[in-house]
Amino acid sequence: MIIVLRKDATDADVEHIVKSVKEWGLSPNVSRGAERTVIGIVGDESVIRAKPLEAFPGVESVMPVLKPYKLAGRDFHPENSTFSVSSGRDGDDPVEIGGNKVVVIAGPCSVESRDLLLEIAATVKESGASMLRGGAFKPRTSPYAFQGLGVEGLRYLAEAREQYGLPIITEIMDVRDVELVAEISDVLQIGARNMQNFNLLKAVGRTSRPVMIKRGLSSTMEELLMSAEYVMSEGNAQVILCERGIRTFEKMTRNTLDVSAVPVLQRESHLPVFVDPSHAVGHWDLVAPTARAAIAAGADGIMVEVHPKPEEALSDGPQALLPQTFADMMKQIRGVAAAIGRTIQE
């Protein structure tokens, strides 16, 4: 249920409604826009229907919400959500997520060693990336494949952030690791395989860190939005939706990049939408073209993999860009961003 307030509604009117809704055992969420203030109510709508909401001072109208993603949807929050991520270093500007500047996240698939990570961080920073990615804990299809360096990898990521001023994002796989990873990483990534790990979603929702949720291999956009709803229902509104390709009958690429997900998710939700072309296509020569397509479609950011020796990479080498290829891609996407009235955040 959504309560739309009149333009002349006072703070006292809002507080009165919020207090009453809480007394009914429901959760009110206030969103203040430029024109209107709305209050979204989460809970059993049968309770709400028995209440005379239109009689409350300051109420203009009351609308039922038919879509299941109330907090993530635009009905409750019509304006785009933005939030900042900082490296914590003095003098570094924070990275704004969801604004007019497109964010580029780059780095290796896995944190393989300290020296290699620092080398890659220096490279992507020089070419214009604004955030560093790297997997410390790696979910792999095969139990015999490289699983990441764990806590040691987190330490290397923190050192790279300190040296180069790049906020870091890394994947979290286990509820037991939430506190540890949240203490170090600036953004928590929920991978495609964990998109519907609801206990994990609720756990990261109780942190103060932004959360990126990758769309599952065979998940619908509504299911992705409902995963975001799990995080937001725990109090964390800093959520990024990430399209990374879905499983189809096509075998020419690793997955099929659903470019239409960008405008559809932006129509349905106020949350920032990113694209991971590396995992979508699985081949380095297709990453730059799909990155350009993602930005042209309106993506708020992209995340790509970079490695100086892809043939020696411990995971996902075929889709990693060489440093020079990444630099060339950055030049290309600046032009695409400019064509639609945006810039690349650096």
The amino acid that residue 285 corresponds to is D
pLDDT band at 90 (very low <50, low <70, confident <90, very high): confident
Give the number of other Cβ atoms within 10 Å of residue 317's Cβ.
Answer: 16
Q: Percent of the chain beyond pLDDT 70?
A: 97
Once rounded to an integer, what is the mean pLDDT over residues 232-243?
A: 96
List Cα–Cα distances, 58 to 7, 27, 219, in angstroms: 8, 19, 41
pTM equals 0.86
Which pLDDT score is estimated for 143?
Answer: 64
Q: For residue range 20-31, what is the model confidence (pLDDT) as tens digits?
A: 999 988 889 898
Cα(61)–Cα(63) distance, integer angstroms: 7
Residues paired with residue 70 on neighbouring β-strands, in sequence order: none
Which pLDDT score is estimated for 256?
Answer: 97
Q: For residue range 241-285, what is the model confidence (pLDDT) as tens digits?
A: 999 999 999 999 999 999 999 999 999 999 999 999 999 999 999
Which pLDDT score is estimated for 170?
Answer: 97
Instruction: List the chain domain ranges.
Output: 2-63, 83-344
Q: For residue range 173-213, what is the model confidence (pLDDT) as tens digits?
A: 999 999 999 999 999 999 999 999 999 999 999 999 999 99
**Region 83-344: CATH code:** 3.20.20.70
In which element (H, E) is residue 325 found?
helix 323-339
Give the number of other Cβ atoms within 10 Å of residue 98's Cβ.
Answer: 20
**Is domain 2-63 given the CATH code 3.30.420.480 in the classification?**
no
Q: What is the mean pLDDT of the chain?
A: 93
Cα(337)–Cα(344) distance, integer angstroms: 7
Q: For residue range 277-321, what is the model confidence (pLDDT) as tens digits?
A: 999 999 999 999 999 999 999 999 999 999 999 999 998 999 999
pLDDT band at 156 (very low <50, low <70, confident <90, very high): very high
Lowest model confidence (mean pLDDT) among 80-94, 286-300, 327-341: 80-94
Is the pLDDT at 140 greater than 60? The verdict is no
